[in-house]
Amino acid sequence: MKRSTHVVRQAMALALAAGALVPAMNAAQAAEWPAKPVRILVGAPPGGTADILARLIARELQAPLGQSVIVDYKPGAGGTIAVQTMLSSPRDGYTFLLIQKGIAAEVPHAIKVSFDPFKDIVPIAQLTRYGLVLVGNPSLPAKNLAELVKYVKSKPGKIDYANFGVGTRGQTMGVQFNRLAGLDAGTVSYKGSPAALQDVMGGQVPLMFDGPATSMPLIKSGKLRAFAVASPKRMAALPNVPTFAESGYPDLQDVSWMGLWSASGVPPAVIARMRDATLKVTQSPALRPRLEEMGMEPGTPATTEELLKDAHESYERQGALLRSINFTPD
């Protein structure tokens, strides 16, 4: 009995000592981190919003981190290939993921994922916020949203929206607009914005709800026409394009965000340092005008808990919308 008691006490002492070492180890890791280049995975093809933002953020992060920041593209399967790459990497704080909240709010409705989007991955910083913009081919006879509604109503079942992925907001925003405006427009899904925009410009599919970063250059060059934005207020880069609320559709408002995510299990002290560096970059006065040029605004300093709560609420809304149209995942 005495020997048994001694062994138990010894085990308890070792466990307590190990527990006490964890904060010290985290602090030591954070003090040394980053000791080598940091990698940011992008779960979308080059040319899209995530790509544009990743290159901008990576460049700005190098100064506060004192290390190179490498952008590594892992497109495909709605961003899940990039997630799996991050989850299979060491949990040492050298691999992060830049992707929109749709990886938790939208993708799990469209694709069977092998990870828990609310436990296995965690958003550590909100980078930007933005609403989608409804764009169309310039050859359309409609010059504003009211004329567009009238035009689409005159061709029931013959007009389609392009969207940047099955089950995404690009698809469900079209569903919402159909209901609110009494339209009968279909949808055509693509693998990312660049491919969809090519067909909108080519006239194969005349309309699209798209992220402003990819549409903005095409709108300004006259290759696309912007009808309305789904943000709460007009975009600084498109001051003459009204919001849907201004145009009589107050319920068609949906702001998304792009975030920097980590795998769970990365030392908290390292996460805290990466979050601080990221917020310093995104909140800097120098970055704001560059984001506004792309139709976005800097993200808020929301906590991980707040970002997860927002993503989960969006997940529930997206699921309800998709169920209402009897959506069947691939």
Sorted by where each starts, the structural domains of the chain and their CATH numbers stand as: 33-130+256-324 (3.40.190.150), 133-229 (3.40.190.10)
The mean-pLDDT minimum among 106-115, 235-244, 286-295 falls in: 286-295
Mean pLDDT, range 252-257, rounded to an integer: 90
Q: How confident is the model at residue 45 (pLDDT cuts 50, 70, 90)?
A: confident
* CA 284/CA 60 separation, integer angstroms: 10
Q: How confident is the model at residue 19 (pLDDT cuts 50, 70, 90)?
A: very low
Which residues are registered as beta bridge partners of 210? Answer: 133
Looking at residue 10, its pLDDT comes to: 53
The mean-pLDDT minimum among 9-13, 54-58, 81-85, 225-229 falls in: 9-13
Looking at residue 29, its pLDDT comes to: 59
Q: How confident is the model at residue 3 (pLDDT cuts 50, 70, 90)?
A: very low
Instruction: Indicate if the pLDDT at residue 297 is higher than 60.
Output: yes
**Considering the chain, what percentage of its residues have pLDDT values greater than 90?**
72
Looking at residue 9, its pLDDT comes to: 52
Instruction: Indicate if the pLDDT at residue 176 is higher than 50.
Output: yes
What tokens does 187 get?
């949808």
Instruction: Indicate if the pLDDT at residue 283 is higher than 90.
Output: no
Looking at residue 18, its pLDDT comes to: 43
Mean pLDDT, range 253-273, rounded to an integer: 95
Residue type, 185: A
Looking at residue 208, its pLDDT comes to: 98
Looking at residue 20, its pLDDT comes to: 45
Instruction: Indicate if the pLDDT at residue 149 is higher than 70.
Output: yes
Q: How confident is the model at residue 13 (pLDDT cuts 50, 70, 90)?
A: very low
Mean pLDDT, range 305-309, rounded to an integer: 96
Residue with tokens 């998304």: 256
Looking at residue 27, its pLDDT comes to: 62
